[in-house]
Structure 1
């Protein structure tokens, strides 16, 4: 299965002062999943096999609800090429 990129932005419906706390728990879970990832100011981009990354997306929703979110708005972007695609090939020239 090719390597793909999946970007995830979760917006949990919780009290304003708890939004970052809940999002941090999602990022902690992504870190524990052992996939390559980068946190950005608006979303987290992961690299790996599509099925595995989609399971992480599903678990992210569950984490938000467990943390008290009455609703979770998520934006998911998938970059898929049959031969695979990496984050590095897309952004290496911008790294300092």
Structure 2
């Protein structure tokens, strides 16, 4: 095998894995997500969502929900903006329907 072929094989493998690579290297920070959930639980609207059986599993198992909750900026918006809270509720509904 020539050097050119040997070099192109790792590049090919990286090209295949590149969409998945951030998940392996930059996985969701569980401690940060848990801290953000605790911060949001101070608000009755979030406590109600979190306590609902319909949505409870999403906070633990849904990577899309957890990704949103890993963002400090998004959590701050959720804390203070009614429209963001309404969008988050619709997002939970959509994710719940997808998982069923």
TM-score (norm 1): 0.31
Higher-Rg structure is: 2
Structure possessing the higher relative contact order (Cα contacts under 8 Å, 6 or more residues apart): 1
**Which structure's residues are more often strand, by fraction?**
1
**Which structure's residues are more often helix, by fraction?**
2
